[in-house]
Every structure is written in C-alpha cells, then in structure tokens.
Amino acid sequence: MQYAYIFLLLPFKSANIWCLFFVFKFILVFPYIYK
C-alpha cells in the first residue's frame, strides 16, 4: 500500500515543482514584457 501512495503522490509533487518553475520564470520575464 505504501508504494501505491508514493506512485499516487509523485505526479502531484512533480506538478507542484513545474508550477513553481513556471511562476519563477514568469516573474523573471514579466519586467521585460511590462516595459
């Protein structure tokens, strides 16, 4: 059962990392777009 929970949680963790990555890139690029 523990392995099942790990496999269920992995996509959510990776998705959170990708969301943070895109938000970080957006914050870096936003000043250039705003000008």
Distance, in Å, from the CA atom of 26 to the CA atom of 13, rounded to the nearest integer, reads 20
Can you give the pTM of this predicted structure?
0.47
Question: What are the tens digits of pLDDT across the range 1-35?
Answer: 567 776 777 767 777 778 788 888 888 888 787 77
Q: How confident is the model at residue 30, as a pLDDT?
A: 82
Domain of 26, in residue numbers? 1-34
Give how many domains the chain has, as a whole number.
1
Q: How confident is the model at residue 2, as a pLDDT?
A: 66
Distance, in Å, from the CA atom of 19 to the CA atom of 2, rounded to the nearest integer, reads 26
